[in-house]
Amino acid sequence: MDPFLEYRQAYDELQNDPEARELRERIRGLQELLVKGEEKYQKRMAKAEAEIVAAVLEQGKSATLHNVEAQYHKGRESTSWKGVAGEMNAPEDVIARFTKIGEATVLVRAL
Domain-by-domain residue ranges, the chain?
3-75
Alpha helices in 60-111 (DSSP H): 81-87, 92-97
How does DSSP classify residue 100? -
Strand-pair category, 63-65 with 68-70 = antiparallel
DSSP string, 37-64: HHHHHHHHHHHHHHHHHHHHHHHTS-EE
Beta-carbon contacts of 41 under 8 Å, excluding residues fewer than 6 positions away, are none
pTM of the full structure:
0.63
Q: What is the pLDDT at residue 33?
A: 98
Torsion of CA 75, 80, 81, 86, to 10 degrees: -160
**Per-residue pLDDT tens digits for 14-72:** 999 999 999 999 999 999 999 999 999 999 999 999 999 999 999 999 999 999 999 99
Residue 84 has pLDDT above 90, yes or no: yes
